[in-house]
C-alpha cells in the first residue's frame, strides 16, 4: 500500500489510532491517548506563538527511505511549507519534527524516526516525554536549547 492509497481508503478514515507505513507498505498502527493529544496541542500552540513566520503541522506525514512516518508536531518555514503543503506526504521534512511519548514507543523507534527525519532535511528533532519534558536535538546531538526556537520551554504543562 502507498501513502496516497492509505489516505484515500475510506475504511481507514476516523480510526482511533495513527497509521504509518513501513518500506514494505505494511501499516503500523499506534493507539492514541488524551494525554498525547494534550501535549501535541500545547507544543503546536507554543510553536505557533513563538515562531509566527512559519507554519505548524500536526500529524505530518514524511516520506522516508524506510516508509511514511508521521511526526506528531512539526514547524516549517514559509519556504519549506510552500513545498510540502500540497503533498500527501512531505518530500522534505519540516525544519522541526516533534515526537510525543506514547506507551507503544520504544527508544529504538524514537532513534529511528530521529535518523529518518534528519535524512529528509529536518534541522531539529524534539522528543516530549510522558512528563511533558522536551529534549531537543540537531544532527550533532542533544541541545541545551533549540537553535531555531531558543525561547521554547523545556517543559510543557
The total domain count for the chain is 1
Domain of 123 in residue numbering reads as 32-142
Chain CA centroid to CA 73, Å: 5
Residue 36, pLDDT score = 77
Residue 157 has pLDDT above 90, yes or no: no
CATH code of the domain in which 111 resides: 3.90.1570.10
State mean pLDDT over 119-142.
97
Model confidence at 54, pLDDT cuts 50, 70, 90, reads: very high
Neighbours of 18 (CB within 10 A): 17
More confident residue, 17 or 137: 137
State mean pLDDT over 95-99.
98
Phi, psi of 137 (to 5 degrees): -135, 150
Indicate whether 2 belongs to any domain.
no
CA distance 157 to 155: 7
Are the beta carbons of 156 and 41 closer than 8 angstroms?
no
pTM, whole model, 2 decimals? Answer: 0.84
Amino acid at each position: 500500500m502507498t501513502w496516497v492509497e492509505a489516505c484515500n481508503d475510506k475504511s481507514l478514515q476516523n480510526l482511533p489510532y495513527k497509521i504509518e507505513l513501513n518500506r514494505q507498505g505494511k501499516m503500523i498502527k499506534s493507539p492514541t491517548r488524551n494525554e498525547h493529544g494534550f501535549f501535541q496541542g500545547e507544543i503546536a500552540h507554543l510553536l505557533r506563538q513563538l515562531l509566527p513566520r512559519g507554519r505548524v503541522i500536526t500529524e505530518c506525514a514524511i516520506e522516508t527511505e524506510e516508509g511514511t512516518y508521521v511526526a506528531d508536531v512539526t514547524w516549517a518555514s514559509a519556504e519549506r511549507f510552500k513545498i510540502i503543503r500540497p503533498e500527501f506526504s512531505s518530500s522534505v521534512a519540516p525544519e522541526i519534527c516533534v515526537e510525543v511519548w506514547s506507551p507503544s514507543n520504544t527508544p529504538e523507534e524514537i532513534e529511528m524516526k530521529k535518523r529518518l527525519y534528519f535524512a529528509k532535511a529536518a534541522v531539529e528533532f524534539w522528543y516530549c516525554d510522558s512528563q511533558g519534558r522536551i529534549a531537543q536535538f540537531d544532527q550533532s546531538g542533544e541541545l541545551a536549547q533549540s537553535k531555531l526556537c531558543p525561547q521554547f520551554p523545556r517543559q510543557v504543562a
